[in-house]
Every structure is written in structure tokens, then in C-alpha cells.
Structure 1
Amino acid sequence: MTAIPRNRKASLHVAEEAPIRLIPLDQIRVLNPRVRNRRVFAKLVENISALGLKRPITVTPATDSAEDCFEIVCGQGRFEAFQALGETSIPCMVVSAREADRFLISLVENLARRKHSNRDLLSSIQVLSERGYSATEIAGKTCLDAGYITGILALLRNGEERLISAVERGWLPIKFATEIARTSDSEIQLAMLEAYETGVLKGDQLMRVRRLIDRRKVLGKRYSPTSGTERLNTPQKLLNAYQAEVRRQKVMIKKADINEQRLLIIVTALRKLFTDEYFCTLLRNEGMQDMPKPLADRIQGENS
């Protein structure tokens, strides 16, 4: 096998600089179309409408057309969003690549695209705040409410990971979360009572908030253990863990016994059916002349 010299440039076009051109949408066609989630696509359209196009799409000149036509390599969603917004042209990075390379590059982009976690997004909000952006400016960049950004930044500054998680899951209002963060333990009870009377918290939601506040008080604001909240294993904890494992093993054994009994019934039934010539002829006519080897071994074992 011949080694590739280190000073040799990659032949794939993605490693090369390419000009950016404004190309009419009617001169562009999708090379490898794929169906999109409507909700995700609607969010993409809303984002581009509010913030504009952050990255041009990648196209290549069509090889099977004499006209000035281009094929999309990367950016079908952005292209369709521009169509939905009624735009007539879109910024494009024009590259040259063979058909096989175009499909490969499109596949690599889809595989490389990852979904950011809420923790990543919240960290990005905090970084923008540290760089001097106001809550209103961050809201404009993220398409989020300015009041929500203000509350999240307050929780982030106080390290309220448990409250932030509850807000992100949707069952704790951001306004009440910030109120919990800035009030003392004695005042939280009054705040919960007021929230219940005003309808901010209802039914099971009130109990969930109560449990959240208790965990926050005992275990701390953050999920990761700290020196103040870290606890040693006690004999009772070890006993509880042992009993839980014993129960799990018993359930597993019981399930195994039930499956063994079911398998025995199946083997016995098939052994009797295979003695019926009519049944065997029916299987041959239907083209069913084999079976899983473990099942066949058990049936032969029953006959022996």
C-alpha cells in the first residue's frame, strides 16, 4: 500500500476555498432529497426569517444540463426555507465535485450534524452574556423571550441546575423558578402558597415543586456532588441496594422459568404436528421447509 505524501492537498473539494455567489432559486435543484420533520422545518424557517442565513448552501454545476443549472450538495433545508419565505435567490458556495463525491459529502454533513443539548444552549446564552450582550440582544439572536433570557441568566449565575432543568422540562414556570432562587427557605413556603392561590401551580405540579425544593435543600443546587453534600455509604444503604438486587434477580429467574415453560409447550406441540403427514405436506406446499436450528435441536431431543 502506497502512503499519501503529507504535503499533498486533499482531492475533495471541501478542503478548498470556493467563491460565494447569489444564485436564483429556479436554477437550483436538489440532488439527494429527503423528507423533513414539519415542526423542525417550521422552526428553521422562523429562525432564518428572524436572523437571516448564517451559512450559504453548497452547490455544484449540473453535468447533465447545458443551461446554467446547479445541484445542491449541502443545504436542502436552507434552500427550501428560502422558497417558503418567497425569496428569489440564495447565497451559494459553488464547488466542483464528481457525482459520487457529492453524495458522500451530503452524507457526511448529515452524520456530522448533532443535536445540541439544553446544557450546551444554556452555556451559549451565558457566554453571550459574558461578552457584553444584553438580554434583549440575546433574545433577538436566539428567538427566545427577553424575560425568559433574563430569568435563565439569573439562574445560571446562581448555579441553579435543578431549577433550570425543571424549567427546561416545562413544568416549572421561569418566573417562579427565579423567585425560588432569590428567596429564603422561610419565604419559599409563602411563595408556594401564593402561587397555588393565583393558579400558577396546580395539583400535582405543586407536589413536584415541593419535592424539588426539598432535594435542592438537601442535595444542593447542582446535580454534581460537592464536598458539602457528598455522603458516605451507610449499612442501611448497602442493605437496600442488596435487597433491590435480590428482587431483580428473582424477577429475572421467574421470567426465565415462564419462557422455559412456553418453549416446552411449543416444542411439544410441534413434535406432535410433525407426525401428521398432512401438516408436513402443507408446510412443503407453502415453501416452509426449514426452522431455527435451536428449535429443531430441541424437537429432535424430545423425539430421542
Structure 2
Amino acid sequence: MSKRLGRGLDALIPSLSVNDDDKVIEVAITQLRPNPYQPRKTFDEQSIKELAESIKQHGVIQPIIVRTVMKGYEIIAGERRFRASQLCGNTTVPAVVRSFSDQQVMEIALIENLQREDLNAIEVAIAYQNLMDKFKLTQEELSMKVGKSRSHIANFVRLLALPESIKDNVSRGTISMGHARALAGIKDLKVQLELAELIINQGWSVRELEEAIQKLESLKDEDSNDGKQAKSKAKKRDPYIESLEESLRERFKTTVKIKQQKDKGKIELQYYNKQDLERLLEMLQYMA
């Protein structure tokens, strides 16, 4: 059996092919509706235009696969052909009618896109979560259906807990799946956002991000030990100092701490690698 597919889907995917014995009908475009379980939310407009040009010249060579629904048909496979046919002004599309359950439709849509690598990491995560929620599947059960490991499913689903701005960047490809996985392991929202900004602005690799996270964890452990000793005599921080810290964080795009003792103190700027240190030094020299 192919490692890419679960047992149920091995049987489902071949059923999307059109055979000589199949009855092909012309379905009015107005009677067709897209698959509501389609995990792909964005389509490459240029590729749709190119397909529309091909359809103008040669017609729709491969019929789409549909199922019967109230007041028409629902597209199971072939949404790009449907969109391209609309674009070039066709009023009908050749189609083959098949019978599928909702769960099969969701699974087919997900597998089709995964095989073509059409989905970004967030779309995959949402598709996995939707399948589990709608059909009460565990991660283990879903992993068997789609032919992926349970840890693979878990790694994607964890991405859904990331802040919206980071998920948007993952969807656009400015933050990779590897970066997103590392960020998902951080509990501090502010740190997540600061590191995401450094990934984008400094072009950090996944390894550089992981090294930065390790350093932050080490600093956190040190601060935790210091905090235990000072906790009993801790005082409410000066709002002016907190506001100043926030302004410096925005200015230097990194974690800033102001430690005050009566009329003196120190300002700490964190850097995460040599390139980040050089960036901070250049900014400080410019301000001098």
C-alpha cells in the first residue's frame, strides 16, 4: 500500500478517475457550487487564466466529478476547471456524477491538495482540525485515514494556536512551517511576536530561531531564580519605567529590560546572534 494514503483513501482516490464506461453529462455552471469542504482558500489567478485560455482552444478535456445536492450539483474534484470555464464564458461543464458522503468529500479534498502540495501550512492545519471536529476523530484515527503520523497531525494542529498575524505570515509564506513550529512552542505572546518580526526583518533561518529560543529559555531560568529571592521585597514598578521599556522595545525591535535601583540602574538589550548584535550596535552608533 502507498505510504501516502490511508486504507480508506486508497479506495477513494481512484474513484475520481473517469472511465470509458462513465456517463458524462453537461451541467449548467449555474447549477454547480464549489465544495464547501475545500481546504484551499486561495487559487492562483494566473494559472486559472492560463487554464481558461486552454479551455477556449480545446474545451474541458477531463470532466469534473460532482455529487447531487439540493438544487444542483456540488464539485468534488475539478474546481480549477470550473473556475476557468466561468472565466472564459462557458455556460456548461462536462461532469460525471458520483455518490460520496460528507466525510469522504472532506477527505478527498484534503488528500488531493496534499498530493499536489497546493495547501499552505495553515490551510492544512484547519483542514485537519475540521475533519476531527466534524467527524469526532482523534489525531490517531485521522493519521490512519490520511496516511500521516500522529505527530505530523499534532504539529500542524498546534499552529492554530498562534497569533493571527503570525498565521497570516505563514499563509503568505513569509514565515515557514519550521519557523512556525518553533514559535508554537513559546507561551509568551509578546516574545512570539518579537521573534516573528525578527524572522521577517532579519531573514532568520529555523536554526537561528531555535538558538534564540534556547538563549531566551536560559535567561528565563536565571530570572526565575533571581525572582524567587527578590519576590518577598518586590515593589510595584514605576509606570514611567514600564512605558520607557515599551518604547525602547519598539525602537530596537528586541527585548529590553530596565533595572532600577534608587537613582541608578542599567538597561539591557537582548540580541540573539552575531547579526542581531551588529544591527543593535549600528543603531546605537547612529543615535550617538
Same fold (TM > 0.5): no
Would you tell me which structure has more strand in proportion to its own residues?
Answer: 2
**Relative contact order: is structure 1 or structure 2 higher (C-alpha 8 Å, sep ≥ 6)?**
2
- What band does the TM-score fall into relative to the shorter chain? 0.3 to 0.5
TM-score by length of 2: 0.37
- In our comparison, the structure showing a higher alpha carbon Rg is 1
Give the structure-1-normalised TM-score. 0.35
